[in-house]
A and B are shown apart, each in its own frame.
Chain A
Amino acid sequence: MFSAIARIFRTPDLRRKIGFTLGVIVLYRLGSFVPAPFVDFENVQTCLQQNQGASGLYELVNLFSGGALLQLSIFALGIMPYITASIITQLLRVVIPHFETLHKEGQSGQAKLTQYTRYLTIFLGVLQSTTLITVARSGQLFGASGTAECTQLLTDDSWYSLLLIVITMTAGTGLIMWLGELITERGVGNGMSLLIFTSIAATFPAALWGIQEARGFNTFLMVIAVGIVIMAAVVFVEQSQRRVPVQYAKRMVGRRTYGGHNTYIPIKVNMAGVVPVIFASSLLFLPSLLVQFNQPAAGEESAAWVTWVSNNLVSGDSPLYMLVFFLLIIGFTYFYVAITFNPEEVADNMKRYGGFIPGIRAGRPTAEYLDYVLTRVTLPGSLYLGIIALIPLVALATVSANQNFPFGGASILIIVGVGLETVKQIDSQLQQRHYEGLLR
């Protein structure tokens, strides 16, 4: 294991790639500390101090930008517009036939879809930065309880300076997108996911230290121990898959034989990845948004349903919220697996190349069998996703950590997923040179 690490650095090509990746990550982190123009840096900082761990509307988004959002830095939007844009283009495949044909076209169609995603990212960047600036200007960014400093986050709020901030932040979003693409192209791993990984990992030390300060060293050590156990469990489930055997028939073409080998279709327990958790949490933003918009005027009693919603569906420690969250995740897991893995398509492809699952006829029966296996394997997968996503909410209730509790929810899934993916890539690069890899 350790000699493998040494070998990584002895391979010039791999060393250069890793160095490049680290350099881009450093640039990205640096940019998220530079405040955008016309932002009052000192006011923002004092405000951040006052509102440590306060749960706002922007919890998840702030997590994804590594705390850059609330600092109103030039990279405030982080990778979020790109994620949203990718989700939208992927979902639009179901709705717009043109997108579906592009997707089926293979490489060239995929390139076109990526191009659409990039345009959409810039558009969303404009939209989200405008929203952010509007909220910051009205002093609502840190919740309604803001003090005088929190309502004056901008030094100048004439229209042209607001416009300049929006343009700058949009350019920042574009730059992040480009940095991610550069990593994908010349570094190791997938750039976008590595950047998300960095942002989330960057909030870890602060969150952990916050627990230490609030509860002392015993709880701190216990949380770390529990965290390592959870992480091991997540790695275990992420790696587990059902292998459906496929036998390819031997074919004679001219004087050569083709095929005749055994392979398998890997069906992962958690085929959907983190996406369901992201979907579910963004959907559960809606109630708190609704409550925000229906705040009663001063001195008035708020409507009964508003009180009910804000009691049950806004904060993470109410049982109803947890239940809804859990059910939403299970639903979205099935939904997303259905979008990404199409049994009929796989069965058709297999038939075309003369492959079959032993004991099952090619064509429709194969598709039905695959569907049956997929549905059954995904059930534990969805339950697992739901439980992992509930961990931060439980921790909120028991250890009084804040909602960004590091070992759980979307953050741990992303950390483990991206980490595994990157290590696998480095591994395959090592094995290209006949070395033993990192993974056994």
Chain B
Amino acid sequence: MPHSRKVLVEILQVVLQVVLGLTSLLLTFLILLHKGRGGGLSDMFGGGMGSNLGASGVAERNLNRITIILGLVWFLTIVALGLITKFQAGV
């Protein structure tokens, strides 16, 4: 019985790793699709005058929603992987 559980955990781990890899790539891609805000360095450490107006359109809003969901999945996968590693080390 413990043996089969170990196999199950290993399968779960591999699946999670694949999910993590895919979500990471997708997340990076989606974030690059966003329109950049903020005007670089002079904006960052004082100096320039901030002028960031402009409403976000429907596309941007949907993109935001997808990114948030994907980010959550990404985060949960990492936490799950970490927990599995911890319990494996504990046993």
Q: Which residues of A are at the interface with B, using a C-beta cutoff of 8 A?
A: 31, 34-38, 41, 74, 83, 86-87, 89-90, 107, 110-111, 113-115, 117-119, 122, 155, 161, 163-164, 167-168, 170-171, 174-175, 177-178, 180-181, 184-185, 190-193, 196, 238, 268, 271, 273-275, 340, 414, 417-418, 420-421, 425
Contact = CB atoms under 8 A, between A and B. Distances in A.
B10 interface: no
A421 B38 CA distance: 14
B65 interface: no
Interface in B1-43: 17, 20-21, 23-25, 27-28, 31-32, 34-43
Nearest to B29: A174
What is the predominant secondary structure among interface residues of chain B facing chain A?
helix
A37 B82 contact: yes
B21 A178 contact: no
Interface in B41-91: 41-47, 50-52, 56, 67, 71, 74-75, 78-79, 81-82, 85-86, 89
Contacts of A421: 46
B40 A90 contact: yes
A193 B27 CA distance: 23
Given A37-B81, A115-B36, A190-B44, 11 more contacts: A89-B40, A111-B36, A113-B40, A117-B36, A122-B28, A167-B24, A171-B28, A177-B31, A184-B38, A193-B44, A340-B47
Given A171-B24, A425-B50, A178 B31 contact: yes
Contact of A184 (B23, B31, B52): B52
A86 B35 CA distance: 16
A340 B41 CA distance: 10
15 contacts: A31-B75, A90-B40, A114-B36, A115-B36, A118-B32, A164-B20, A168-B20, A171-B23, A171-B74, A175-B74, A180-B38, A192-B38, A273-B42, A273-B45, A420-B46
Contact of A155 (B71, B75, B79, B85): B85
Contact of A168 (B24, B39, B85): B24
A86 B45 CA distance: 11
Given A118-B32, A425-B50, A185 B37 contact: yes
B31 A174 contact: yes
A308 B5 CA distance: 59
B32 A86 contact: no
Given A167-B21, A190-B44, A193-B45, A181 B34 contact: yes
Given A36-B78, A170-B24, A175 B71 contact: yes
Task: Select the residue from B21, B25, B28 with max chain A CB neighbours within 10 A.
Answer: B28
Contact of B37 (A86, A107, A181): A181
A161 B18 CA distance: 11
A87 B41 contact: yes
A74 B32 contact: no
A137 to B, nearest CB: 17
Nearest to A173: B28
A90 B71 CA distance: 30
A273 B41 CA distance: 10
A114 B46 contact: no
Contact of A90 (B41, B56, B78): B41
Task: Select the residue from B38, B42, B44, B86 with max chain A CB neighbours within 10 A.
Answer: B44
A145 B38 CA distance: 42
A414 to B, nearest CB: 7
A175 B85 CA distance: 24
A275 B42 CA distance: 9
A435 to B, nearest CB: 20
Contacts of B27: 171, 174-175
Contacts of A41: 82, 86
B14 to A, nearest CB: 10
Contacts of A185: 37, 52, 56
